[in-house]
Amino acid sequence: MREERTAAIVLRTRVHGESDKIVTFLTQDWGKITGIAKGAKRSRRRFVNVLESFTHIRLRFRPSRADDLAFILGCELLQAFRRPSQDLQRFALASYMVELADVMVAGQEAGQEIYALLLHALASLEALSPLPALFLPAFELRLLVELGYAPNLRTCHVCGTSVFPRAPDEPALLFSPSLSGLLCPRCDTQGGATFRLSPATLRLLQTWLASGPLPDLSAESWSPRICQETRSLVSRLLAQHLPRPLKSLAFLERIDVPPVAAVPGQAACIDDAQSG
Ligand SMILES: [Zn+2]
């Protein structure tokens, strides 16, 4: 097979045998690729500082047939994100974001949007100070959208009645994670376990869904209720689609990043409307 080139983000690296490394990338043009870098453990010259997690590189490789490993010919550094190595919170967030992208993207079907989203999120993690409270839920929601799991926040999932836009003084609506949609007051017993979303949270989420790849969060501030409802919505949607728990989540929680991802019972702090 001939040599290919693409921009890529390193998702994870592990040592293989005496001197090789097996590396998984999210690429701009080839979706997710796992390849072998022969001699990478020893060759400081060919792969210097380019196979670390979160590094943005230009990858030269020979594609594999079927499920075999690609053959990594070389990597050129495009951008090293340095703040995760200097700041534990940012390191935990970056680790979580790349692991989430890794488990949610199955293979080469990933489009450029997911690569662009992860790159944008890592660049924002490098640039934003302080980090906005809803930085991670905004990333998680956009990832769900790009994977085809966008929630329906405009109409009642059961009867189709429009519930958009919502005036600030209107009552909160129930959201059903299992249906991935809202329920109007007439249909609000039909969604299984549900929780409330206030008009202000719905407005924020609808703005986010309409923008891409990530909303500009730098000058935003949100009420505690909006933060809590947003985190609850995103964590429960993720719980519907995550194929396995993430290893990086325990680390994220240990260093006191606000609860963001799917852990049984974790989102129960919010005013649950119904369960079961
Ligand atoms: Zn309805």
Residue 116 to residue 26: CA distance in whole angstroms = 10
One of 2.30.29.30, 3.40.50.300, 3.40.640.10, 2.40.50.140 is the CATH number of 4-83, namely 2.40.50.140
Q: Ligand 1 centroid to 196 CA: how many Å?
A: 15
Residues of the chain with CATH 1.20.1440: 132-274
SS3 of 34, please?
Answer: strand
- Per-residue pLDDT of 128-187, as tens digits, reads 988 899 999 999 999 999 999 999 999 999 999 998 888 888 999 999 999 999 999 999
Q: Ligand 1 centroid to 160 CA: how many Å?
A: 6
CATH 1.20.1440 assigned to domain 132-274? The reply is yes
HSE-CB for 101 with a 13 A CA cutoff: 37
Residue 208 to residue 137: CA distance in whole angstroms = 11
Q: DSSP assignment of 69-97, as one string? A: PEEEEEEEEEE---HHHH-HHHHHHHHHH
- Per-residue pLDDT of 25-83, as tens digits, reads 999 999 999 999 998 887 767 787 788 899 999 999 999 887 789 999 999 999 999 99
- For residue 19, give the amino acid letter: S
* Helical segments of the chain, H only: 83-86, 88-104, 112-127, 135-146, 199-210, 224-241, 248-254
Q: Ligand 1 centroid to 182 CA: how many Å?
A: 8
